[in-house]
């Protein structure tokens, strides 16, 4: 079976074939570093990581870029609130983000790109759009994308263009059909010309760049067009993100990028669905969100969240409840225990299970079915422990649950000392003392089991 992905652009599952067969070029919209991302945001990164791991498992080389939005309306607003420079403020949350993705076992992208390092590239794209007549400068010096000039605008989210002639707009330019919006975020029923470059105003404080376009800063959407194309070329294979980024962010990325280059920007658009809380969308504005810190405060391993998400297809909505997450953690602990019990030897990967596992994942990342293979391997009575271990480690290249990090806990020094004393007592045939020591060891949570070839210490 060939690898198939659901392409949001065509609304169909398609065979995956990269533009360059040697290397898949993939871009993921990363976080806006103004706060701790909530666990709903992390679904997007766990999903992108899973897609990437599947590509690697299939033998592809993957060049993966993830951006860090370190300048936009929100980072400026909140850095000012805290009285910090934009750099100091965003660097703090960038570091926190790095810690979080590590705890979720997300593979580090080939490169993280910071928006503030790509201002020149953004200016160049905007210049091209101005030259082609797809963008215009407004009276305050800001530059907007003219969606009325883009016949394909709305193709990703399939918008019916609404003609909204405002009197102000009509007076200024009778040919213009759309109003304009400076804010980075807005709703689908409010489509307007969006800001590519925002002329400086006093709310921006000391955040601005002096460029050929004037004094100002970029809009959010142009950042991703510049960072993706600078690193991956004008046409990329895969662009991932949360479904909430489809509009306006991704629609605008397509308009800007394809407007500037005349080429198809992205071959496969992939979006993950929402995480709901009480059937409502988890969001910062609704204040119904949890961060990874809420999980660790409850002593829940963040990997349990990854595991819980893998139990659902990335394109289905999931409703977050603590009971479900705690249930996932119990199941995960059980898997880890089963793995520990396999011993130390690593045998060979079972090809039959590997094939089945691949087949499920090739069907648009069917992780719920792929997970059943993991349980099947543990349950298989005809496989040796060593082969089970090799197979589990192989499957985990995609699942990312971290089996390779599980080590037998070391027996405490104190217990080892008592075990030694007990052994001496036994050799001296002092069985009373030997029994007393056995009880003492037991009270510390360990058990000594005698066998023909010595003894074994086990945790109770
Ligand atoms: Zn983006």
Element (H, E) at 359: helix 351-362
Angle at 103 between CA 361 and CA 406, to 5 degrees: 75
Cβ–Cβ under 8 Å, residues 18 and 377? no
Task: For 278-345, give the DSSP string.
Answer: TTEE--TTTT----HHHHHHTT--HHHHHHHHHTS-TTS-EEE-HHHHHHHHHHHHHHHHHHHTT-S-
SS3 assignment, position 266 = strand
Q: How far is the CA of 89 from the centre of ligand 1 (A)?
A: 20
Indicate if 239 and 364 belong to the same structural domain: no
pLDDT at 407: 75
Q: How far is the CA of 26 from the centre of ligand 1 (A)?
A: 12
Indicate if 427 and 391 belong to the same structural domain: no
Angle at 90 between CA 89 and CA 95, to 5 degrees: 110
Q: How far is the CA of 253 from the centre of ligand 1 (A)?
A: 8
Instruction: Print the domain residue range for 394.
Output: 277-405
Bridge partners, 136 (sequence order): 144
Q: How far is the CA of 264 from the centre of ligand 1 (A)?
A: 17
The CATH number of the domain where 364 resides is what? 1.20.120
Q: How far is the CA of 150 from the centre of ligand 1 (A)?
A: 20
Q: How far is the CA of 317 from the centre of ligand 1 (A)?
A: 21
Beta strands 236-242 and 23-28, pairing class: parallel
The CATH number of the domain where 104 resides is what? 3.40.50.620
Q: How far is the CA of 50 from the centre of ligand 1 (A)?
A: 19
Indicate if 112 and 75 belong to the same structural domain: yes
Indicate if 121 and 214 belong to the same structural domain: yes
CB atoms within 10 A of CB 97: 21
Contacting residues for 237 by C-beta, under 8 A, at least 6 apart: 18, 19, 24, 25, 26, 266, 267, 268
Indicate if 137 and 192 belong to the same structural domain: yes
pLDDT at 408: 65
From CA 5, how far away is CA 55, in angstroms rounded? Answer: 11
SS3 assignment, position 404 = helix
pLDDT at 447: 86
Find out whether the peptide bond into 248 is cis, omega within 30 degrees of 0: yes
Q: How far is the CA of 271 from the centre of ligand 1 (A)?
A: 12
Contacting residues for 288 by C-beta, under 8 A, at least 6 apart: 277, 278, 280, 282
Q: How far is the CA of 114 from the centre of ligand 1 (A)?
A: 12
Indicate if 165 and 265 belong to the same structural domain: yes
Indicate if 259 and 341 belong to the same structural domain: no
Q: How far is the CA of 27 from the centre of ligand 1 (A)?
A: 9
Q: How far is the CA of 185 from the centre of ligand 1 (A)?
A: 12
pTM of the entire structure? 0.87
Q: How far is the CA of 396 from the centre of ligand 1 (A)?
A: 29
Q: How far is the CA of 319 from the centre of ligand 1 (A)?
A: 25
Q: How far is the CA of 30 from the centre of ligand 1 (A)?
A: 7
Q: How far is the CA of 224 from the centre of ligand 1 (A)?
A: 5
Q: How far is the CA of 132 from the centre of ligand 1 (A)?
A: 24
- Token look-up 């007393």 returns 436
From CA 310, how far away is CA 70, in angstroms rounded? Answer: 30
Indicate if 103 and 233 belong to the same structural domain: yes
Q: Which of 372, 389, 405 is the last residue of a domain?
A: 405
Give, for all 460 residues of the chain, the pLDDT tens digit: 799 999 999 999 999 999 999 899 999 999 999 999 999 999 999 999 999 999 999 999 999 999 999 999 999 999 999 999 999 999 999 999 999 999 999 999 999 999 999 999 999 999 999 999 999 999 999 999 999 888 899 899 988 654 443 434 444 554 555 788 888 888 877 788 999 999 999 999 999 999 999 999 999 999 999 999 999 999 999 999 999 999 999 999 999 999 999 999 999 999 999 999 988 888 777 888 899 999 999 999 999 999 999 999 999 999 999 999 999 999 999 999 999 999 989 999 999 999 999 999 999 999 999 999 999 999 999 999 999 999 999 999 999 999 998 876 677 888 889 999 998 998 899 999 999 999 999 998 888 887 776 787 877 7
Q: How far is the CA of 66 from the centre of ligand 1 (A)?
A: 9
Measured between alpha carbons, how far apart are the two ends of the chain, in Å?
46
- Residues with C-beta atoms within 5 A of ion ligand 1: 29, 224
- The HSE-up count of residue 415 (CA atoms within 13 Å, CB side) is 18
Q: How far is the CA of 249 from the centre of ligand 1 (A)?
A: 6
CB atoms within 10 A of CB 72: 23
pLDDT at 333: 95
- Token look-up 């001296």 returns 428
Q: How far is the CA of 360 from the centre of ligand 1 (A)?
A: 29
Phi and psi angles of residue 56, each rounded to the nearest 5 degrees, phi first: -65, -40
Q: How far is the CA of 229 from the centre of ligand 1 (A)?
A: 12
Q: Which of 371, 387, 405 is the last residue of a domain?
A: 405
Bridge partners, 312 (sequence order): none
Q: How far is the CA of 441 from the centre of ligand 1 (A)?
A: 57
Q: How far is the CA of 235 from the centre of ligand 1 (A)?
A: 15
Domain count, the chain: 3
Cβ–Cβ under 8 Å, residues 272 and 315? yes
Indicate if 135 and 227 belong to the same structural domain: yes
Indicate if 430 and 376 belong to the same structural domain: no
Q: How far is the CA of 28 from the centre of ligand 1 (A)?
A: 7
Indicate if 370 and 444 belong to the same structural domain: no
Q: Which of 272, 290, 322 is the last residue of a domain?
A: 272
pLDDT at 164: 44
Tokens of 243: 């479904």
SS3 assignment, position 212 = coil
Q: How far is the CA of 221 from the centre of ligand 1 (A)?
A: 6
Cβ–Cβ under 8 Å, residues 65 and 113? yes
Q: How far is the CA of 173 from the centre of ligand 1 (A)?
A: 31
Tokens of 192: 């307007």
Task: For 12-45, give the DSSP string.
Answer: EEEE---SBTTEEEEEE---BSSSPPPHHHHHHH
Cβ–Cβ under 8 Å, residues 164 and 179? yes
Indicate if 24 and 123 belong to the same structural domain: yes
């Amino acid at each position: 079976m060939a690898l198939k992905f659901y392409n949001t652009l065509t609304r169909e599952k398609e065979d995956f074939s990269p533009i360059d067969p040697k290397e898949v070029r993939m871009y993921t919209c990363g976080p806006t570093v103004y706060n701790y991302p909530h666990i709903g945001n992390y679904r997007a990164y766990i999903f992108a990581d899973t897609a990437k791991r599947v590509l690697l498992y299939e033998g592809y080389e993957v060049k993966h870029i993830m951006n860090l939005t370190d300048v936009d309306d929100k980072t400026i607003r909140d850095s000012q609130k805290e009285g910090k420079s934009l750099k100091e403020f965003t660097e703090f949350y960038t570091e926190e983000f790095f810690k979080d993705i590590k705890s979720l076992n997300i593979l580090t992208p080939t490169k993280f790109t910071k928006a503030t390092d790509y201002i020149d590239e953004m200016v160049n794209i905007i210049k091209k759009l101005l030259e082609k007549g797809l963008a215009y400068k407004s009276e305050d010096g800001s530059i907007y994308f003219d969606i009325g000039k883009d016949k394909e605008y709305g193709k990703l989210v399939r918008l019916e263009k609404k003609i909204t002639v405002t009197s102000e707009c009509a007076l200024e330019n009778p040919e213009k059909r759309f109003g304009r919006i400076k804010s980075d975020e807005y709703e689908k029923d409010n489509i307007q010309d969006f800001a590519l470059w925002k002329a400086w105003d006093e709310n921006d404080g000391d955040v601005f760049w002096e460029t050929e376009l004037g004094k100002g800063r970029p809009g959010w959407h142009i950042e991703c067009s510049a960072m993706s194309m600078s690193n991956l070329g004008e046409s990329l294979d895969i662009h991932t993100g949360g479904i909430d980024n489809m509009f306006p962010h991704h629609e605008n990325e397509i308009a800007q990028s394809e407007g500037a280059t005349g080429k198809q920007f992205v071959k496969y658009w992939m979006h993950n669905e929402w995480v709901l809380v009480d059937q409502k969308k988890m969001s910062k504005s609704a204040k119904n969100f949890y961060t990874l810190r809420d999980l660790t405060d409850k002593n829940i391993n963040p990997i349990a969240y990854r595991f819980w998400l893998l139990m659902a297809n990335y394109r289905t909505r999931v409703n977050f409840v603590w009971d479900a997450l705690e249930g996932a953690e119990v199941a995960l602990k059980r898997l880890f225990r089963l793995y520990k019990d396999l011993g130390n030897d690593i045998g060979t990967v079972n090809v039959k299970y590997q094939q089945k596992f691949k087949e499920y994942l090739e069907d648009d990342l069917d992780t719920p079915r792929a997970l059943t293979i993991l349980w099947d391997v543990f349950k298989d009575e005809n496989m040796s422990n060593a082969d089970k271990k090799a197979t589990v480690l192989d499957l985990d290249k995609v699942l990312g649950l971290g089996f390779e990090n599980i080590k037998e806990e070391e027996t405490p020094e104190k217990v080892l000392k008592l075990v030694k004393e007990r052994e001496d007592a036994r050799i001296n045939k002092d069985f009373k003392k030997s029994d007393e020591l056995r009880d003492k060891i037991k009270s510390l949570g360990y058990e000594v089991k005698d066998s023909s070839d010595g003894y074994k210490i086990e945790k109770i």
